[in-house]
Structure 1
Amino acid sequence: MKRAILLLPAAVLLFSCSSGTGVPVEIARSKNPEQALVAHEKNRGDLFLFYEPTGKSRWKQNWTAQLDLTGVSWNDDRTATLIAPSFVVMAAHFVRPANVPVMFHDRHGHPYERFIDKCERIPGMDVAVAKLNLPLPPAIKAYPFASADAAKPGRSVILSDQDKRLFVHEIAAPAGKGVRFKFDQDLDPIFRKRLIPGDSGNPSFLLENGELHLLETHTTGGPGAGPCYANPEVQEAVRKAIAEMGG
């Protein structure tokens, strides 16, 4: 993982007790829902009780269970995140090869195996877009991009790492076509992670209407920084790559 600072230039119906993804309505509607999600939590954000890359796994029933992380492929350190039924994004400097399975697990822990069929690195960005050999069903979440209106400095962000854990940091500032994070000083230190080599490509998200929206995939260490998927130029480049691969 690069250690330097990054230099690369639909509403959801809310029910009375919870949002469509399991996030309580009062959290989904709060000013800073990512922070509110863990404000009273004291447990680390481990995602799995046990994880079998090609077999049935069990998601942990803690605060992370309110979030749909089925669209992140955790079986290899070169993490891939689903943005459409047949397409994933990765860090361009840490791409999963075509002979390594891209495994996903639905909310019941059932595995889905895919492989990378085609891959394009986007010039000037630490983003690789890959087409899978087969589309995934709706049971595996494809993440929409975060909105520019939501991705403002001071907003908290849900961040993941190679050990299948979630943390909550804070948006520090935009950085060209990227975004930089800092540690959220208002939260328990248990929700902070100093990113290290191997965390590259893991995604970070914003909660918009109770749904996870993809904000970034990690390029640098420390609190984290990477390409910003809320940036219209990044979004357009990803869509162009998808179109060129027949999406």
Structure 2
Amino acid sequence: MLHVLHLPVNSSCDVAILILEHATKVTTPTYTVFEDHFYNAAIHGIDDLLLKANASGATLDEQKKIFSVQDHNHKHYVRSSKCWAHTLDLTAISPWNSLGHTRKAGTLISPRHALWARHYSINVNTTLRFVDKNNNVVDRRIVKTNSVPTHGHAFLRGYDIVIGELDQDVPASISFAKVLPRNLTTIRPGRVYIPVFDTDFEEKALVADFSYESSNMVSLRTPLHSSIRYQYFETKIVGDSGNPVFLVLDGEIVLLFVLTYGGSGSGTSITHHYDAINNIMKQSGTGYQMTEVDLTKYLATGSQIPSIIG
């Protein structure tokens, strides 16, 4: 039968694992130091915030809303202090654009570049809007777009990315999302349930479970119904395409992909196209490249970031 157990991986942290028990024999997976620390940072990065918000007295609807006020016509926004993700810097996420309005989301990957889904693309001369932590609005115009090369493949199968260049840098009050290291190309956590943070076209802060990253795709899964995460999960629907999906590591959002498919959610791996994206950014002449999140803190002494975990 199936059990959800919290098995101690080391003296400082637990990992939630789904174990298949046959008779009285239980097999405990073995994790490397890096996997142990990385998984637990990702788990606590979101779960701790959910638990705190859940105990705050705010309604579930209030806990999901990134903004308590979104008046796009008058450029008036108020970030909600009741949102479970309120303490995270979410200024890289655009809540509005002049083409799709609340649809066709874009996410900054540098002060001058945003990324979105090719099948739900945003045109040149469209205005992308960003809102800083103090609710000040910053608008920028898209001046150039480039899709990652498909090499003859259907772009919906792992090539669903467009890079847009803005007319000028956003100010320092607007952040950009970091990404995973270039060489970490495969993540298969298996029986470890790692949460991710994603948004929808209503600008809600939602949660799903990471399933895998392999080759050019990343896939999510629905959280266990008994998990607190399930309260913050919503099925991806029409209009959500292009919205970003993040890990949260030590209080920092790390961009994994933008949504292509509905259900639990899946899309094109940014890590798989790391070089292609950087090449597009290089051609713009701005000097910007994507920024890797520092995962060396999770390594054993003398070790390097692996290419495959799980």
The residue aligned with 1:106 is: 132
What amino acid sits opposite 1:192 in the alignment? F
Cα distance in 1 between the residues matched to 2:251 and 2:164? 27
Matched, 1:70 2:91: yes
Match of 1:87 among 113, 119, 125: 113
Matched, 1:146 2:187: no
What amino acid sits opposite 2:208 in the alignment? H
Is the 8 Å Cα contact of residues 45 and 166 (structure 1) preserved in structure 2? Answer: yes
Cα distance in 2 between the residues matched to 1:118 and 1:106? 24
The residue aligned with 1:48 is: 67
CA offset at residue 197 of structure 1? 1.2
Cα distance in 2 between the residues matched to 1:151 and 1:66? 27
CA offset at residue 149 of structure 1? 8.5
Q: Cα 1:162–1:235, aligned 2, differ >3 Å: closer, same or farther? A: same
The residue aligned with 1:165 is: 204
Q: Cα 1:151–1:70, aligned 2, differ >3 Å: closer, same or farther? A: farther
Cα distance in 2 between the residues matched to 1:139 and 1:165? 21
CA offset at residue 37 of structure 1? 2.0
Which TM-score applies when normalising by structure 1?
0.82
Cα distance in 2 between the residues matched to 1:95 and 1:123? 15
Matched, 1:224 2:265: yes
Q: Cα 1:149–1:244, aligned 2, differ >3 Å: closer, same or farther? A: closer
Is the 8 Å Cα contact of residues 146 and 206 (structure 1) preserved in structure 2? Answer: no
Matched, 1:191 2:203: no
Deviation per residue, 1:103-138 (Å, 9 max, x gap): 111111111111110000112310000100111011
* Gap runs ≥5 in structure 1: 1-28
What amino acid sits opposite 2:78 in the alignment? R
Deviation per residue, 1:164-221 (Å, 9 max, x gap): 0011111112243111000121225321111011101100111122211111100000
Q: Cα 1:105–1:40, aligned 2, differ >3 Å: closer, same or farther? A: closer
Cα distance in 1 between the residues matched to 2:177 and 2:116? 13
CA offset at residue 45 of structure 1? 1.3
- Counting matched residue pairs gives 218
Larger deviation, residues 56-65 vs 35-44: 35-44
Q: Cα 1:152–1:207, aligned 2, differ >3 Å: closer, same or farther? A: farther
Q: CA RMSD in A?
A: 2.1
Which TM-score applies when normalising by structure 2?
0.66
The residue aligned with 1:19 is: none
* Gap runs ≥5 in structure 2: 1-39, 55-59, 151-158, 287-310
Match of 2:216 among 147, 160, 177: 177
